[in-house]
Structure 1
Amino acid sequence: MLIDVQNLSKSYASKPAAQNVSFSAKAGSIIGLLGSNGAGKSTIMRMLVGSLTPDAGQAFINGYDIVTQRRQAQHQLGYLPESALGFNNLSVREFLTFTAESRGFSEPQKRTLIDNVIDQLDLGDVRHKLLGTLSKGWRQRSWLGQALLHNPPVLILDEPTDGLDPNQKAQLREKLKYLGQTKTILMSTHILEEAENMCERLVVMRDSQLVADGPTAQFLDQNGRLESAIHALTATNTDQPAKTDNKAGS
């Protein structure tokens, strides 16, 4: 398994953010991480990428422990944070160059990796434009480029299409589905059509706990449609239903 999560737990000021969460993901699959705001999705992702240390439990990225082998684990993954911002005064190519230098690649390696990512994500027309001048769709694609730069086997994507217009969403989804043929992708999303159309499996969280984990088809079969099943699993007295594209205001 390229992602193996075993009873991960994390609390903030004694308030649980993730409690004994366990799941795994094999190579060449897209896994959807679903749940209402505050359910613990981002906490799980931040622990997996090494920016948070678990209070308990273990997790492995391509066999490397995220705590005791953090650097090796981080080399196995690429991370797209939610609402990726910053580096507005760098061009797309400068941003990718900075990323490559941060990862310690040599000059010839940098050029090859950057050119590959620019071609792979069709960034050629914007490669010399400043990130701060780009639409959110192009910024997201540029940040996906930094996640892909070192060709990792695992991608962890936090709300990758949030805030994009319909055309931008469609384009990015197609890129991710193509990448998911060979890479393991763990992505959080509030858009249920996205989960239904892209994800092989769903991991569902509510109130810091995992409440369901299984093939996407399993959720469709249980309640006839994905929205009904996921809302039944995630809703609390204060929750709102997970978004669908026609309600997302995109």
Structure 2
Amino acid sequence: MSITVKQITKVFGTQKALDNVSFDIKKGEVVGFLGPNGAGKSTMMKILTSYSKADEGEAIVNSFNVLSEKRNVQKSIGYLPEHNPLYLDMYVKEYLTFNANVYKVDKNRINEVIEQTGLTPEAHKPISALSKGYRQRVGLAAALLHNPEVLILDEPTTGLDPNQLLEIRKLIRNIGKEKTILLSTHIMKEVEAVCDRVLIINKGVLVADKGLSDLRNEESQIIEVEFDYRVEEVLLQQIAHVTTVKNMGGFVYEITFDTQKDMRPVIFDFAHDNKLKTLQLARKNKNLEILFSELTQ
């Protein structure tokens, strides 16, 4: 395992930031770490990078204990914190040279990470002149300099515009072909775009551990339908395979079925048989956003 977390608990005053959290991450996995603001994501990442100490439990990164083998842990990980700490008055290559000296890595590695992260056109510029997207690339380049086995990325796309988001996601996907990545975010589409698996934490408690492929293949579907008149929910619940019916306001209903068979024709027939018109009829898979909402509200 690249990362093993066993019953980690962290308390600040009277608040449990992490409550008996356990999970494993295999070598080569790209795992999304999801949760609302204040759920405990950043606290866990600080513990895994040995910047913070857990009150209870144990964490192992690349076979090193984060408490007793801090130096080895820090050598084997690349960390991009939420607030990317850059020296804005330095030039890109100058900043990476400074970091290379800290890690005592070969200077040839600087050009390698510049090319890997797409920084070549900006390498001659001061960091202060870069867009936020390119500043994030500089942070990733610095995290990759010593060729770590594990990357821990805390909200790497916060504040980026749509084009920058796509660029950084593509970069993370490419890096994930060679590295184990733990990616903290609250953006569902980001996880669906780059991750193999998702961990969801809420109020310090791990509430889900799911593979993205499993989530996509779940035997369920949600259909949103709008009729021209109000319908008693008990009638809709009599349709085959219905598990829940929810009125979304007015004449709009969200109906969940326990089958992957497309149930829209069945709803259309139900409307016809009951002398109703369907004003809209849309199928929605039970995606990550819905799962997240169910587990964290």
Given the two structures, how large is their TM-score scaled by the length of structure 1? 0.89
Match of 1:247 in 2: none
2:8 is the counterpart of 1:12: no
Contact 2:31/2:183 (CA < 8 Å) preserved in 1?
Answer: yes
Superposition deviation, residue 38 in structure 1: 0.2
Q: How far did residue 82 of structure 1 move?
A: 0.7
Q: Does 1:148 align with 2:144?
A: yes
SS of the residue 1:195 aligns to = helix
User: Which residue number in structure 2 is paired with residue 228 of structure 1?
Assistant: 290
- By how many angstroms is 1:104 displaced? 2.9
- Residue 189 (structure 1) shift: 1.2
Task: Give the corresponding residue for 1:61.
Answer: 61
In the alignment, residue 164 of structure 1 is paired with which amino acid? L
- In structure 2, the residue matched to 1:136 is 132
Q: Which runs of 5+ in 2 are unaligned?
A: 222-285
Residue 201 of structure 2, aligned match among 180, 198, 205:
205
Question: How do 1:101-112 residues align onto structure 2 when only pairs under 5 Å count?
Answer: 101-105=101-105, 109=106, 111-112=107-108
**Counting strand residues as a fraction of each chain, which structure ranks higher?**
2
- Which of 151, 156, 159 is the matching residue for 1:160? 156
* 1:76 aligned partner: 76
Cα distance change of structure 1 residues 34 and 85 upon mapping to structure 2, 3 Å threshold: same
Aligned residue identity for 2:36: S
Superposition map of 1:183-194 within 5 A: 183-194=179-190
* CA distance in 1 between partners of 2:64 and 2:37 (Å): 29
CA-to-partner distance for each residue in 1:141-169, whole Å, 9 max, x for gaps? 00000100011110000111111111111
CA distance in 2, matches of 1:100, 1:154: 18
1:28 equivalent in structure 2: 28
For residue 110 of structure 2, what is the aligned residue in structure 1?
Answer: 114
**In structure 2, C-alpha distance between the alignment counterparts of 1:51 and 1:98, rounded to whole Å:** 21
| Alpha-carbon displacement from aligned partner over 1:83-132 (angstroms, at most 9, x marks no partner) | 31431111111111111111233xxx1x2111110111121121121112
More helix by share: 1
State the identity as a percent: 42
Number of aligned residue pairs: 231
**Match 1:182 to one of 157, 178, 184:** 178
Q: Is contact 1:27–1:182 with CA below 8 Å preserved after alignment?
A: no
Report Cα offsets for 1:9-48 as digits up to 9, x if no partner.
1111231111111111111111000000000000000111
Q: How far apart in 1 are the matches of 2:289 and 2:10?
A: 28
Deviation of 1:219 after TM superposition, in Å, equals 3.5
Deviations 1:169-206 (A, max 9, x none): 11111111111112100001111111112111111000
Tell me how far apart the structure 1 counterparts of residues 86 and 195 of structure 2 sit (CA, whole Å): 29
